[in-house]
Structure 1
Amino acid sequence: MRIVGRGRIVLWEGASLWAFDVPPAPDGQASTRLHAHHAIQITLSAGGRFCIRTGDGRMDGPVVVIAPDVPHAFEPEGKVALLFVEPESRAGQALMQGMAGALVAKLDARLGHAPTKLADLWIDAQSDDGVVEALGRSLVQEAVGEVLPASTLDLRIARTLDWLTSRISEGVGLAEAAAIACLSESRFSHLFAAEVGLPFRTYLLWRRLMLAVERISAGTSLTVAAHEAGFADSAHFSRTFHRMFGIPAASLQLI
């Protein structure tokens, strides 16, 4: 799928908002490849339409939420937006609790008004990133639908995640992370996977991917962004992005 048009990507701690306009496909319905990523994905119509396909069937908009690491394909047309929420964040934990084990669910009742709010992203394409971030934060809060609960993450893992935030692009190793958590490497690996839902190295790769996306959305070239985020080269970043999002990384430069 080729993402083009007047779009935005804005990231903040624990979440991001991606908005884009997908023209009708000349040979039928545009679709990503089947893919999976670590974030909770809230897909919203912004005047366009979309369908989410999983191994269990399909679900149409206007608002659909997908649990982390669920293989899915995305079939959009027109103006659509994606809210990605880190499952370890307080909002992410609340969303997961609300899904009650479902892999895919509708959120129309809570975010049915979203198309009107999101339309402003195309009406005022030059709006400040802070305005777009505020919109994204408000949509996440409305999706949660309640006061955010206290974090349920193990404090040792929470401390490690905070420590990682400023070191994502560095050569962070398992031994260093385990030391921050005051655990042996084997115990840390087991606890991290149980709390976060991913092995440590896979999570680190996801965070590096998001850092590269942030750099590209700010105007950095794909090659430089990949290097700054700690990837071996742009090819490694491109392969990782394609596997997790189902579209070419070069599409980011068209938004």
Structure 2
Amino acid sequence: MHPSVWLKPGILIIYGSALDTAPHKHHAIQLILPSPNASYQLNNTAGTGALVIDADVEHQLSMASGWILLIEPLSHWGKALQEKLAGRPTCDIEQQSSTMPSIAGSDDQPFPLLTPLFEQLGLGSYPNTFTSQPTDKRIQSLVSQLDKCINGDCVKPSNWRAAQVAEQLALSESRFLHLFREEMAIAWRPYLLWRRMFCAINALKQGSNATQAAYLAGFADSAHLSRTFKNNFGMTIRQALALLQLKSYSNLNK
């Protein structure tokens, strides 16, 4: 199995083997899909089928091989997964092994491959977007600006201070912070941090070293980025790059 990672606004997909994380939690809902005849260990409990972990639930995961999807909670697929969770921290989803997608290499796009599986799991068809969809047009515009970072058209996050964003939206800082939490079900600062990590991952995928990625994503240095990465994904950037067989190892800190 060739390990691979894909990023789109609102979703991070990992396909790999020997996945092993320290205890961590993050903003996203997590969907675990072990490969046929593979298993996982979640908080020392064994399982073999599809599993959903709610956002902000601490967990430790080991999996022999398979898929991990991190999905924004208020996106189309995120809402479908929340319905499955029904307020529980985790839930199993029945699946047919014959529907498990498989890819030949990292250049393949997994999204069409995942659609039949999501339909079989009762989670709906391929969505137009993976990001959370706020109803307020000002917050919609802000999220759209953040989405550009995934495509490389990134504005350094030092320009995303709450006071500056509020001024651009013609709001007071307090009103902006309240509105953003109301629309996105998360405070502005942790949401921006989550997006900054996506920015850093994208930079590393494009060949930047850790220092460059940290700068582009608005972190103080590569050590700060790696600590934050481990808190949210349960592994250092060095471990992630080794797992995914990427080559941007220079200036990495454990």
Which category describes the TM-score, using the shorter chain as reference length?
0.7 to 0.9
User: Residues 154 and 108 from structure 1, CA distance in 2 versus in 1: closer, same or farther, beyond 3 angstroms?
Assistant: same
Give yes or no for the alignment of 1:14 onto 2:10: yes
Give yes or no for the alignment of 1:206 onto 2:187: no
Give yes or no for the alignment of 1:145 onto 2:135: no
What SS does structure 2 have at the residue aligned with 1:70? coil
User: Which amino acid in the other structure matches residue 145 of structure 2?
Assistant: W
Report if the CA contact (8 A) 1:217-1:252 is conserved. no
1:94 to partner: Cα distance: 3.0
Report if the CA contact (8 A) 1:168-1:207 is conserved. no
1:15 to partner: Cα distance: 1.2
Give yes or no for the alignment of 1:42 onto 2:42: no
What SS does structure 1 have at the residue aligned with 2:186? coil
Give, in whole Å, the separation in 2 of the partners of 1:98 and 1:58: 20
Task: Kindly provide the CA deviation profile for residues 98-119 of structure 1, in whole angstroms up to 9, marking residues without a partner as x.
Answer: 422222111224x65453x23x
What SS does structure 2 have at the residue aligned with 1:6? coil
User: Which amino acid in the other structure matches residue 16 of structure 2?
Assistant: F
Aligned to 2:47: 60
- Of the three residues 141, 154, 166, the one matched with 2:135 is 154
What SS does structure 2 have at the residue aligned with 1:84? strand
Task: Kindly provide the CA deviation profile for residues 140-177 of structure 1, in whole angstroms up to 9, marking residues without a partner as x.
Answer: 56556236699763314333212333355332110232
- Of the three residues 104, 126, 132, the one matched with 2:110 is 132
Q: Structure 1 length normalisation: TM-score? A: 0.78
* Structure 1, 185-194 or 159-168: larger mean CA deviation: 159-168
Give, in whole Å, the separation in 2 of the partners of 1:136 and 1:177: 36
Query: Identity over aligned residues, as a percent?
Result: 31
Give yes or no for the alignment of 1:225 onto 2:204: no
User: Residues 228 and 16 from structure 1, CA distance in 2 versus in 1: closer, same or farther, beyond 3 angstroms?
Assistant: same
Give, in whole Å, the separation in 1 of the partners of 2:24 and 2:200: 19
Task: Kindly provide the CA deviation profile for residues 43-83 of structure 1, in whole angstroms up to 9, marking residues without a partner as x.
Answer: 11013210222xxx84623210111111111122x212101
1:37 to partner: Cα distance: 0.6
Task: Kindly provide the CA deviation profile for residues 184-209 of structure 1, in whole angstroms up to 9, marking residues without a partner as x.
Answer: 21122123223323221111111010
Q: What count of residue pairs does the alignment treat as equivalent?
A: 232
Give, in whole Å, the separation in 1 of the partners of 2:203 and 2:128: 31
User: Which amino acid in the other structure matches residue 57 of structure 2?
Assistant: V
Give, in whole Å, the separation in 1 of the partners of 2:24 and 2:143: 25
Give, in whole Å, the separation in 1 of the partners of 2:128 and 2:236: 37
User: Which amino acid in the other structure matches residue 11 of structure 2?
Assistant: A
Q: Structure 2 length normalisation: TM-score? A: 0.78
Q: Which runs of 5+ in 1 are unaligned?
A: 23-29
Q: What is the aligned-residue RMSD (CA, Å)?
A: 2.8
Please list, as runs of the form range in 1=range in 2, the aligned pairs for 1:167-206 lying within 5 A after superposition.
Answer: 167=154, 169-171=156-158, 172-206=160-194
What SS does structure 2 have at the residue aligned with 1:21? strand
